[in-house]
Amino acid sequence: MKKRPFLLALALLAGLFVFFLALVVTLASYMGNPTDFALGDKVGVIEIYGVIADSKQVIEQLHEFRDNDSIKALVLRIDSPGGGVGPSQEVYEEVKLVDAVKPVVVSMGSVTASGGYYIAAGAREIVANPGTITGSIGVIMEFANVQELLNKIGLGSVVVKSGEYKDIGSPTRDMTAVERTILQELIDDVHSQFVNSVAEGRHMDPEKVNAIADGRIFTGRRAMELGLVDRMGNLEVAIKRAAELAGLEGEPHVVYPPGKKPRFIDMFIEETLNQLQLALQKERSVGLQYLWRGFN
């Protein structure tokens, strides 16, 4: 009899714990960050959208999911025309390292071209829609020349430099033949890095990759015929395939990286800056780019 109050209290505490756990899961699902609290093994989904200008956030998310023992496989949802050479290469290398620990599958959205495809090539498998725009294996570097405009308005440019080629690509003068050769050699070197990375990631002959690495784009269906993609399907297909590769049974629980809900003013400022950045990138490309210029 004396033990009954203790047992009742214990049962009450257990009931409260289950209630609050269910409440947390329900609220998390309602607020758009579901299944972080889901029990059992999970598939993590990381999204890469827009121009690839920085690798820090994606790499942090890859590390977080790699070190989470309850996440057995990852899906990279990529919808990007590409971007900077450095960030694309950094994410590609990290994807390969994570895939050595747990399977990584890429799900291609509307566009996964150039640097976007570079990243995808590091995954174990690639899933694309039949109409996905992909490929664009190549490198681009663009320069504007405003010399004639400056002459018309009576402005000149004075340059003091430490070496003959220190102002290579200057917008205030014509490029010399030697400078063009130097830049072409640079482009060819970085292009060969792209080709070799695709060949390594896709287990293809470099010569076979090089034959289609002239910047052309492909549909997802054509890319699969060429060996650049493994299967057709949407994000759900990619998630189920990742679960299969990890040996998971049944419907997989899906988790996304945690994120805070921004204030309206933060969203407004961020969107304004993003639009400004895109406008500037359309007018002037800075540095080497794994970028498909057909993206608007």
| 150-178 b/e (C-beta count within 10 Å ≥ 16 → b) | eeeeeeeeeeeeeeeeeebbbebeeeeee
- Catalytic residue, candidates 56, 161, 166, 282: 166
CB count, 10 Å around CB of 132?
28
d(CA 229, CA 156): 51
d(CA 147, CA 154): 10
d(CA 115, CA 176): 29
What is the arithmetic mean of pLDDT over 198-222?
97
Segment 5-19, tens digit of pLDDT: 656 666 666 666 666
Phi, psi of 113 (to 5 degrees): -120, 160
Average pLDDT in the chain: 85
C-alpha distances out from residue 79 to 65, 195, 224, 244, Å: 20, 21, 17, 23
Q: Which two tokens stand for residue 264?
A: 């309206």
Segment 75-132, tens digit of pLDDT: 999 999 999 999 999 999 999 999 999 999 999 999 999 999 999 999 999 999 999 9
Q: What is the pLDDT of residue 203?
A: 96
Of the listed ranges 59-63, 84-88, 116-120, 262-266, the one predicted with least confidence: 262-266
Query: What's the fold here for domain 38-291?
Result: 2-enoyl-CoA Hydratase; Chain A, domain 1 (3.90.226)
Classify 263 as helix, strand or coil: coil
**pTM of this prediction?**
0.78
What is the arithmetic mean of pLDDT over 57-81?
96
Q: At residue 274, does pLDDT exceed 70?
A: no
Q: What is the pLDDT of residue 268?
A: 56
CB count, 10 Å around CB of 256?
17
Classify 73 as helix, strand or coil: strand
C-alpha distances out from residue 210 to 55, 188, 206, Å: 26, 12, 6
H/E run at residue 149: helix 147-153
Q: What is the pLDDT of residue 35?
A: 43
Q: What is the pLDDT of residue 142?
A: 87
Amino acid at 127: V
Q: What is the pLDDT of residue 262?
A: 47
Q: Is position 114 annotated as part of the catalytic site?
A: yes
Confidence of residue 291 (pLDDT cuts 50, 70, 90): confident
Q: What is the pLDDT of residue 22?
A: 61
What is the arithmetic mean of pLDDT over 32-57?
80
Q: What is the pLDDT of residue 271?
A: 56
d(CA 293, CA 83): 10
- Catalytic residue, candidates 55, 88, 107, 114: 114
Strands of the chain, DSSP E:
42-49, 71-80, 82-84, 104-113, 125-128, 133-135, 217-219, 231-232, 253-255, 289-291
Question: Could you state, in order of their start, the residue ranges of all structural domains in the chain?
Answer: 38-291
